């Protein structure tokens, strides 16, 4: 059983403009597209990603919600 909680509002409210969001996404892609998978911190987001052939899968959460802390 897999349970997921999606809160797109956190992501959507993190950027005041579409331009800021696109810049963040471009930065994220540039930092992760060559790796196979890892955990990174970028602009106060904890990001777990996996790259497989032509698919990039991201799971993102606010650093304030990091259960490891």
Each residue's pLDDT tens digit, 16-29: 888 988 898 899 88
The token pair at 3 is 């349970």
Residue 4: per-residue pLDDT: 45
pLDDT grade, residue 7 (50/70/90)?
Answer: low
Across all residues in the chain, what is the average pLDDT?
77
Q: Which tens digits make up the pLDDT trace of 34-64?
A: 877 788 888 888 888 988 877 888 888 877 7
Cα 66 from Cα 46, distance rounded (Å) = 7
DSSP state at residue 5: -
User: And the tokens for 17?
Assistant: 């403009």
Q: Where is 13: in which H helix or E strand? A: helix 8-13
The stretch 2-13 carries a mean pLDDT of 54
> Distance between CA 20 and CA 27 in Å, rounded?
11
């Amino acid at each position: 059983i897999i349970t997921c909680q999606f809160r797109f509002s956190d992501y959507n409210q993190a950027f005041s403009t579409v331009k800021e969001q696109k810049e963040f996404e471009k930065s994220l892609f540039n930092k992760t597209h060559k790796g196979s998978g890892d955990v990174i911190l970028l602009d106060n987001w904890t990001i777990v990603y996996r790259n497989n052939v032509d698919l990039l899968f991201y799971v993102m959460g606010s650093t304030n919600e990091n259960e490891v802390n």
